[in-house]
Amino acid sequence: MKAPELIALLRQGDQESWRYLVATWLPRIKAATIPYNLSEDDRNEVVQRVLIDLHNGIDRFELINIDAFLAKKTRWRSLDLIRERARLPESPMDQDFAERDSELDFDEDSAEMELLREALRALPRRERLVVFLFYYNRCSYLRIAEMMNTDYDWVKNTLHRTKAKLKRITNGRED
Protein backbone atom coordinates (compact mmCIF):
# COMPACT_ATOMS: atom_id res chain seq x y z
CA MET A 1 0.00 0.00 0.00
CA LYS A 2 1.39 3.42 -0.95
CA ALA A 3 1.96 6.04 1.77
CA PRO A 4 -0.63 8.63 0.61
CA GLU A 5 -3.34 5.97 0.40
CA LEU A 6 -2.36 4.53 3.79
CA ILE A 7 -2.33 7.96 5.44
CA ALA A 8 -5.76 8.79 4.01
CA LEU A 9 -7.20 5.54 5.39
CA LEU A 10 -5.51 6.07 8.77
CA ARG A 11 -7.05 9.55 8.99
CA GLN A 12 -10.45 8.02 8.41
CA GLY A 13 -9.84 5.65 11.32
CA ASP A 14 -9.75 2.51 9.19
CA GLN A 15 -8.86 -0.32 11.59
CA GLU A 16 -7.47 -2.58 8.86
CA SER A 17 -5.02 0.15 7.88
CA TRP A 18 -3.86 0.46 11.48
CA ARG A 19 -3.40 -3.30 11.69
CA TYR A 20 -1.46 -3.25 8.43
CA LEU A 21 0.74 -0.40 9.67
CA VAL A 22 1.46 -2.12 12.98
CA ALA A 23 2.13 -5.50 11.36
CA THR A 24 4.42 -3.91 8.78
CA TRP A 25 6.23 -1.47 11.03
CA LEU A 26 6.49 -3.18 14.38
CA PRO A 27 9.48 -5.33 13.33
CA ARG A 28 11.11 -2.39 11.54
CA ILE A 29 10.75 -0.06 14.52
CA LYS A 30 12.09 -2.74 16.87
CA ALA A 31 15.03 -3.37 14.54
CA ALA A 32 15.76 0.36 14.42
CA THR A 33 16.21 0.35 18.23
CA ILE A 34 19.02 -2.25 18.13
CA PRO A 35 21.88 0.28 17.84
CA TYR A 36 20.73 1.87 21.12
CA ASN A 37 21.28 -1.33 23.18
CA LEU A 38 17.83 -1.18 24.72
CA SER A 39 16.34 -4.03 26.71
CA GLU A 40 13.41 -5.91 25.20
CA ASP A 41 10.98 -4.04 27.48
CA ASP A 42 12.50 -0.69 26.50
CA ARG A 43 12.33 -1.60 22.82
CA ASN A 44 8.65 -2.42 23.22
CA GLU A 45 8.17 0.91 25.03
CA VAL A 46 9.77 2.76 22.11
CA VAL A 47 7.52 0.93 19.64
CA GLN A 48 4.45 1.89 21.65
CA ARG A 49 5.52 5.53 21.92
CA VAL A 50 6.25 5.78 18.19
CA LEU A 51 2.91 4.27 17.24
CA ILE A 52 1.09 6.53 19.73
CA ASP A 53 2.90 9.55 18.26
CA LEU A 54 1.80 8.50 14.80
CA HIS A 55 -1.78 7.94 15.93
CA ASN A 56 -1.94 11.28 17.77
CA GLY A 57 -0.39 13.20 14.91
CA ILE A 58 -1.96 11.54 11.88
CA ASP A 59 -4.18 14.55 11.16
CA ARG A 60 -1.13 16.83 11.01
CA PHE A 61 0.90 14.30 9.05
CA GLU A 62 2.17 15.57 5.73
CA LEU A 63 2.18 13.30 2.70
CA ILE A 64 5.85 12.57 2.99
CA ASN A 65 7.75 9.38 3.23
CA ILE A 66 6.20 7.43 6.12
CA ASP A 67 9.42 5.40 6.35
CA ALA A 68 11.45 8.51 7.11
CA PHE A 69 8.90 9.76 9.66
CA LEU A 70 8.82 6.48 11.60
CA ALA A 71 12.61 6.10 11.45
CA LYS A 72 13.09 9.61 12.82
CA LYS A 73 10.46 9.11 15.55
CA THR A 74 12.09 5.81 16.52
CA ARG A 75 15.47 7.48 16.87
CA TRP A 76 14.01 10.35 18.95
CA ARG A 77 11.98 8.05 21.17
CA SER A 78 14.96 5.72 21.71
CA LEU A 79 17.14 8.64 22.76
CA ASP A 80 14.37 10.01 25.00
CA LEU A 81 14.08 6.66 26.72
CA ILE A 82 17.84 6.43 27.21
CA ARG A 83 17.82 9.90 28.78
CA GLU A 84 14.92 8.94 31.06
CA ARG A 85 16.64 5.74 32.17
CA ALA A 86 19.87 7.60 32.81
CA ARG A 87 18.21 10.01 35.24
CA LEU A 88 19.68 8.72 38.49
CA PRO A 89 19.77 10.59 41.81
CA GLU A 90 23.54 10.99 41.44
CA SER A 91 23.16 12.78 38.12
CA PRO A 92 25.15 16.03 37.98
CA MET A 93 22.12 17.61 36.28
CA ASP A 94 20.02 17.05 39.38
CA GLN A 95 20.39 17.38 43.12
CA ASP A 96 20.97 14.33 45.23
CA PHE A 97 17.79 13.00 46.84
CA ALA A 98 19.42 13.12 50.26
CA GLU A 99 19.96 16.86 49.83
CA ARG A 100 16.28 17.30 49.09
CA ASP A 101 15.32 15.69 52.39
CA SER A 102 17.84 17.62 54.46
CA GLU A 103 16.70 20.94 52.98
CA LEU A 104 13.19 20.27 54.27
CA ASP A 105 14.27 18.86 57.63
CA PHE A 106 11.75 20.58 59.91
CA ASP A 107 9.80 19.21 62.82
CA GLU A 108 6.31 18.57 61.37
CA ASP A 109 4.57 20.71 64.03
CA SER A 110 7.16 23.48 64.30
CA ALA A 111 6.53 27.14 63.65
CA GLU A 112 9.10 26.93 60.84
CA MET A 113 7.09 24.20 59.15
CA GLU A 114 3.88 26.20 59.41
CA LEU A 115 5.67 29.23 57.96
CA LEU A 116 6.95 27.05 55.10
CA ARG A 117 3.44 25.71 54.44
CA GLU A 118 2.06 29.26 54.28
CA ALA A 119 4.89 30.32 51.98
CA LEU A 120 4.21 27.36 49.68
CA ARG A 121 0.50 28.21 49.54
CA ALA A 122 1.39 31.79 48.58
CA LEU A 123 3.49 30.69 45.60
CA PRO A 124 2.08 30.92 42.07
CA ARG A 125 0.52 27.64 40.94
CA ARG A 126 3.31 26.64 38.51
CA GLU A 127 6.05 27.27 41.08
CA ARG A 128 4.13 25.26 43.67
CA LEU A 129 3.76 22.45 41.16
CA VAL A 130 7.52 22.38 40.44
CA VAL A 131 8.30 22.20 44.17
CA PHE A 132 5.72 19.48 44.71
CA LEU A 133 6.93 17.36 41.79
CA PHE A 134 10.60 17.74 42.69
CA TYR A 135 10.51 17.26 46.46
CA TYR A 136 7.46 15.13 47.07
CA ASN A 137 7.19 13.06 43.89
CA ARG A 138 10.98 13.00 43.45
CA CYS A 139 10.76 13.78 39.75
CA SER A 140 13.89 14.89 37.91
CA TYR A 141 14.12 18.30 36.26
CA LEU A 142 13.79 16.59 32.89
CA ARG A 143 10.67 14.67 33.90
CA ILE A 144 9.06 17.82 35.32
CA ALA A 145 9.85 19.68 32.10
CA GLU A 146 8.16 16.93 30.09
CA MET A 147 5.09 16.87 32.33
CA MET A 148 4.73 20.65 32.28
CA ASN A 149 5.53 20.93 28.59
CA THR A 150 8.44 23.30 29.14
CA ASP A 151 12.21 23.06 29.02
CA TYR A 152 14.76 21.74 31.48
CA ASP A 153 16.38 25.14 32.14
CA TRP A 154 13.04 26.76 33.03
CA VAL A 155 12.37 24.04 35.62
CA LYS A 156 15.87 24.29 37.07
CA ASN A 157 15.75 28.11 37.25
CA THR A 158 12.23 28.16 38.65
CA LEU A 159 13.14 25.69 41.39
CA HIS A 160 16.29 27.65 42.23
CA ARG A 161 14.39 30.97 42.44
CA THR A 162 11.54 29.39 44.39
CA LYS A 163 13.92 27.82 46.91
CA ALA A 164 15.65 31.17 47.42
CA LYS A 165 12.26 32.85 47.85
CA LEU A 166 11.16 30.24 50.40
CA LYS A 167 14.43 30.60 52.33
CA ARG A 168 13.98 34.38 52.48
CA ILE A 169 10.42 33.97 53.72
CA THR A 170 11.28 31.37 56.35
CA ASN A 171 14.22 33.47 57.54
CA GLY A 172 11.95 36.50 57.91
CA ARG A 173 13.33 38.51 54.99
CA GLU A 174 10.36 38.39 52.63
CA ASP A 175 10.78 40.59 49.54
The verdict on 61 and 111 lying in the same domain is no
Please report whether residue 13 resides in a domain.
yes
Q: What DSSP letter does each residue of the chain carry, written as one string?
A: --HHHHHHHHHTT-HHHHHHHHHHHHHHHHHHTGGGT--HHHHHHHHHHHHHHHHHHGGG--SS-HHHHHHHHHHHHHHHHHHHHH--TT-TTS--HHHHHHHT---TTSHHHHHHHHHHHHS-HHHHHHHIIIIIS---HHHHHHHHTS-HHHHHHHHHHHHHHHHHHHTT---
The verdict on 74 and 102 lying in the same domain is no
Please report whether residue 40 resides in a domain.
yes
Is residue 68 scored above 70 in pLDDT? yes
| pLDDT per residue as tens digits for the range 136-173 | 777 888 888 887 778 889 999 999 999 888 888 777 65
The verdict on 30 and 76 lying in the same domain is yes
Please report whether residue 18 resides in a domain.
yes
Structural domain span for residue 104:
97-170
| pLDDT per residue as tens digits for the range 121-136 | 788 878 888 887 788 7
The verdict on 14 and 82 lying in the same domain is yes
The verdict on 110 and 145 lying in the same domain is yes
Could you give the CA distance from residue 13 to residue 105 in angstroms, rounded to a whole number?
Answer: 54
Between 16 and 71, residue with greater pLDDT: 16
Q: What DSSP letter does each residue of 105-122 carry, written as one string?
A: ---TTSHHHHHHHHHHHH
Please report whether residue 92 resides in a domain.
no
The verdict on 81 and 8 lying in the same domain is yes
Give the count of domains, the chain: 2
pTM confidence score: 0.47
